[in-house]
Amino acid sequence: MKQTRIMLESFAGIPLPGWDVLTPSYQLRHFGKSENIFTVGEWQPYVYVVRSGIVKLTYLSESGEEWIKSFISEGDFFACPNVLITGLTTDYFATAVDACDIEQVDYAAINQLTEQYPVWQRAIRQLLAQHIVRKEQRERELLTMAPEARYQSFLKTYPTIAARIQLRDVAHYLGVTPEALSRIRKRIASD
C-alpha cells in the first residue's frame, strides 16, 4: 500500500491513522500491456493508485471510435465516480498502456476512515480538489483551444508520459486523427 499511503498522506500533510482498516481490502494487482483493468458496465467500487506503468481511461463512441479522457501514471490515482457516488456501473474503460502495477483499495474502507478521522476527510477533499482541477483544465482545453495548442499543453502537462505512449493514443486524447497530429508535429518542429 506504499504508493497509496504516500499519495494520501501528501494530501493530508501529515501521517494518517488507521491504515489497518484498509489492509483487508487492499490488493496489489499486475496488468500486462493492453490489459483492461475494468470495462464499461462493471461495478468497480475501488480507488486505484498506479505504482508503475501508465493507464489510459477511454470512452468508445457509438461507432466504436476510441476517445481517451486521461492518462494516469506513477503516483496518480483513478476511480469511477459513477460507481463510488451513485452506485451505477463504469461508463468507460481503464486499460494498461504498458505493464502496470496498481494498488487497489475498496472505497468503502476509505469512506469508513473519513467517518472516523477528520484528517482523512482533509486528504480526500484534497484528492478530489486535484481531480476537479484536472478535469476542468481538460474540459477548457477541449472547448477553447485549437488542436496545436492542445498538443503543446499535453507535452507540458505530461512530459514523461508523452515519450512513453503511441502517437495514436496522443491523437485520441487530443481529439484529432493520427494524420492531423502528424501535421501538427511537423509544424511545431519547423517553427
Q: Residues 89-101: what's their mean pLDDT?
A: 96
Which residue, among 82, 39, 43, 45, has the nearest Cα to 57 in the 3D structure? Answer: 39
Query: 3-class SS at 96?
Result: strand
Alpha-carbon span 83 to 134, nearest angstrom: 20
The CATH architecture one would assign to domain 2-113 is Sandwich (2.60)
Checking if the pLDDT of 188 tops 80, the result is yes
Checking if the pLDDT of 191 tops 80, the result is no
pLDDT of residue 48: 97
Instruction: Report if pTM > 0.85.
Output: yes
Query: 3-class SS at 70?
Result: strand
pLDDT of residue 98: 95
Query: 3-class SS at 61?
Result: coil
Residues of the chain above pLDDT 70, percent: 100
Secondary structure string (H, E, C) spanning 161-178: HHCCCCHHHHHHHHCCCH
Q: Could you tell me if 70 and 134 are in contact, meaning their C-beta atoms sit under 8 angstroms apart?
A: yes
pLDDT of residue 190: 81
Least confident residue range of 54-58, 96-100, 125-129, 187-191: 187-191
All three cell numbers of 163: 515519450
pLDDT of residue 119: 97
Least confident residue range of 8-12, 69-73, 84-88: 84-88
Mean pLDDT, the chain, whole residue set: 94
State pLDDT tens for residues 29-83.
999 999 999 999 999 999 999 999 999 999 998 888 889 999 999 999 999 988 9
Checking if the pLDDT of 172 tops 90, the result is yes
